[in-house]
Amino acid sequence: MAAPQITDIQTGIQTGIQQAMKQLGSRSWQVDVIRGILSIAFAVVFFLDRTRVLYFLLYALGVYLILDGVTGIYTIAAYTTRIERSRRKWLDYLLAAINIVLGVLCFTHTRYIIILLLLIIGARIIVHGIGLIRHALRTSGRQAGLNWIGGALLIVGGAALLFRPAIVFTFLLIFIPVYALVDGGYTLTRGLLLRFAPTRLQPKPPAGDAAPGDIPADAPTTTRRALVFVRRAGASGLGHIAWAYEWNNGWFNAGSVENTLGKPFVAPAEMGFWTTHTVNPIDAMREREYPYDEYKVFYVADPKPKPAWKTVIWESRTPYSALRHNCNDVAYDVLRMFGAKELIDPAEEVVPNDWYDTLPGYSFAIPRYPAIPQHLRRMSSRELTIQFINLVIPAPLQGLIPPWRVNGRRAWEELTKAWDKMLVDVASIVRRRR
């Protein structure tokens, strides 16, 4: 009997590997190749004619800020009563108007906008320095000393840059094209590996005896799970994201914004929003018209399912926007309100596939891992007759807007987070070379 058992195990492992590789291959390698080539081309053009490229970037920023302000005003005027934001309506209008004014200044007074951006960069460097010092106060030993030194240098350097913005400007003229060149080379290489050597990109499966996706035995008793799902081929190869989080009774809330119309702006009634109450969230993703491919599991020691559910209500009534309220943003909002701190802000990685891949943890291929262990807290010993409930949100239920979604602030938060990501990427490259 031993030989057949060994054969079955080997067959199962081989099948699992093939399924995992198939899921990895479903990611569009052409998208990465095109993005890499465009990024490299941008760097080359920047080196050849930096003045025109700089003006192009400023004009693009102006368009971005104007669109942000206009869509913000439209959202406030059309959906204020639905998203319960009337108390802050005047502030939202003011911040949206400021963005429009700054966007116009990008076309009419580029010099002042450049100075403003340089001052923001210097201020961000000082904020990072203060963060390192605060971290040093909570640690000890060599790491605390390094944090003190690094924080002091950042504060001094940031303060110097505030008084000498020309230094920052010169630095940016070199940093931006170099970063675009390196990032383009990385993206192009990843696309080619996806096409010709996908095995090199396949992560190792989780180790240990625990069942995949189960709550660790040493975790606090309050721990609940949050899941992020990805459909690799969604959005023409850019990817599509869905969420699920665990209630205290062991059931899950799952959902997404599908936007099957493919439009950049869609009203709530037409944006394909869905949410469900289910025992097995993976089944909810497999039974969609366009099934999902993979998922990652996060463990939240202090879960907040009620604020997450109120956020789901708010998301269902907020119009879809490719710039600010897409599938990735919605999943991030819901799970962050739930308490999943490992998630990065979509502003740091705007492409859904890249955002998903940047998240920590192993990616479980749904064909290989079609379920996660259940921990139902039932009031009855009888078997459940219903395990899947499609939800329709009643109009009287009040939603909860995430504090980071206030109109007028999000645009600048996205810009600063994008800048922070660039610095982190460069720092990671330096560490790897060491």
Convert the pLDDT of each residue in 213-252 to its tens digit. 899 889 999 999 999 999 998 988 889 999 999 999 999 9
Mean pLDDT across the stretch 160-169? 76
Q: Are 253 and 244 in contact (CB under 8 A)?
A: yes
Q: Is the pLDDT of residue 142 over 70?
A: yes
pLDDT of residue 139: 76
**How many residues would you count in the chain?**
434
Tell me what the mean pLDDT of segment 23-30 comes to: 60
Global confidence as pTM: 0.74
Q: Is the separation of the CB atoms in 364 and 202 below 8 Å? A: no
Q: What's the confidence (pLDDT) of residue 272?
A: 94
- Which pLDDT score, from 0 to 100, does residue 18 have? 44
For helices 89-108 and 50-79, the axis angle rounded to 10 degrees is: 160
Query: What does the pLDDT average to over 319-333?
Result: 90
- What is the pLDDT of the chain when averaged over all its residues? 81
Report DSSP letters for 301-365, one per residue: SS--HHHHHHHHHHHHTSPEETTTBSHHHHHHHHHHHHT-TTPPPGGG--SHHHHHHHSSSPPEE
Contact (CB, 8 A) for 71 and 323: yes
Task: Determine contact, residues 388/279, Cβ cutoff 8 Å.
Answer: yes
